[in-house]
Amino acid sequence: MRSLFGPVYSRRLGLSLGVNLFKENICSYDCVYCECGRTKVLTTKRDEYFELNDVLFEIKQYLSENCLKIDHITFSGRGEPTLYLYIEKLLEEIKRFPVASALLTNSSLLNDKEVRKSILGFDVIMPTISTVDQNQFNTIHRPAKGIRLFDILEGVKVFSKMYRGLFIPEIMIIKDVNDSEKSLAGLIEYIKELDYKGCHLNTIVRPAAYSDYKGINKEEINRIKNFLEKNDIRCIDADSAISKAKIGYSDERLINTLLVRPVHESDIKSIFKDPQIAIVGINKLLDNHSINKEKGFFKIS
């Protein structure tokens, strides 16, 4: 399996090439909302989960031909990217190309000095911070043994003050878990202590790892956004990204993406420069059962 997927259209980052550093779902959390499925290996151990030279080769090969066609190269995928021991080395290589780098992190390792240092070079970092309540945290993220919310909150605070790029906390809202104003009150006080650009609000929109948990609707998102803003928390519209480029369709590109996450049919027009060609290709993959479609999402069968 390859480590690159996409590019996929991201509401936040435009056309984004994904870097996945794990051969299976390996993470420090087992979030109820994870769109990659349930975590297979729950761990806080940093390691070379994908061979460094293979990842470097793929990144260099892709960027030398396509770096001007994408908005960001984004570390995300089937696990927490900071568990990858050589993340700094990968970032160094990416910096040789004219493309912005982004990291989506669950924040669990930000209390580690080495981890903080290794990710300072990213242009954009989006750390997940959904609650300051340990019980809610356990319910939402189902963390590996030994992870304490208190340590994470401290680590995020320290990092936000030393980091010079765009620091955009992402608040994941789960219905009936952390969606009340009472739950958000503590989080508001915490966020005020951070150096941040603005917060993104997110909720479950794709098929999730634990189907008992649900997202909230648009009206509820707006209610929470208004509540945060009334309390002086800056929010950034999740649809604010402007994509500068689109890419050509290939079966391989689509399948590599679906191996990591489902893609909604409404995203096809934003990703591929000729959606008609993409639709013909996708229909063939559906006909021969290489992929399937469920509730508007294309997935691997």
**Binders of ligand SF4 in range 60-79 (CB under 6 A):** 79
The rounded distance, in Å, linking the Cα atoms of 72 and 236 is 18
- Does 177 contact ligand SF4 by CB under 6 A? no
Stretch that binds ligand SF4, among 28-36, 218-226, 245-253, 280-288 (CB under 6 A): 28-36
Phi, psi of 8 (to 5 degrees): -115, 155
For residue 27, state whether it binds ligand SF4 (rule: CB under 6 A).
Answer: yes
- Helices and strands counted in the chain (H then E): 10, 13
Backbone angles phi, psi at 15, to 5 degrees: -80, 115
Contact 22, 50 (CB under 8 A): yes
39 near ligand SF4 (CB under 6 A) = yes
**C-alpha closest to that of 101 among 205, 8, 16:** 16
Within 100-119, which residues bind ligand SF4 (CB under 6 A)?
A: 106
Q: How far apart are CA 166 and CA 101, in angstroms?
A: 11
34 touches ligand SF4 (CB under 6 A)? yes
By beta-carbon proximity to ligand SF4, the closer residue of 24 and 229 is 24
* 29 versus 167: smaller Cβ distance to ligand SF4: 29
The binder of ligand SF4 chosen from 80, 83, 144, 149 (CB under 6 A): 80
Q: Which stretch binds ligand SF4 (CB under 6 A): 4-12, 32-40, 94-102, 244-252?
A: 32-40
Write down the least CB distance from residue 295 to ligand SF4, Å: 19
Mention every residue, 6+ apart, whose C-beta is less than 8 A from residue 204: 33, 174, 213, 214, 215
29-37, 50-58, 91-99, 152-160 -> range binding ligand SF4 (CB under 6 A): 29-37
Total residues in contact with ligand SF4, by rule CB under 6 A: 10
Q: Which of 3, 78, 5 minimizes the C-alpha distance to 257?
A: 5
Tokens in use for 160? 């936000």
In terms of CB distance, is 80 or 267 closer to ligand SF4?
80
Task: Name the DSSP class of 247.
Answer: B
Residues forming contacts to ligand SF4 in the complex (CB under 6 A) are 27, 29-31, 34, 36, 39, 79-80, 106
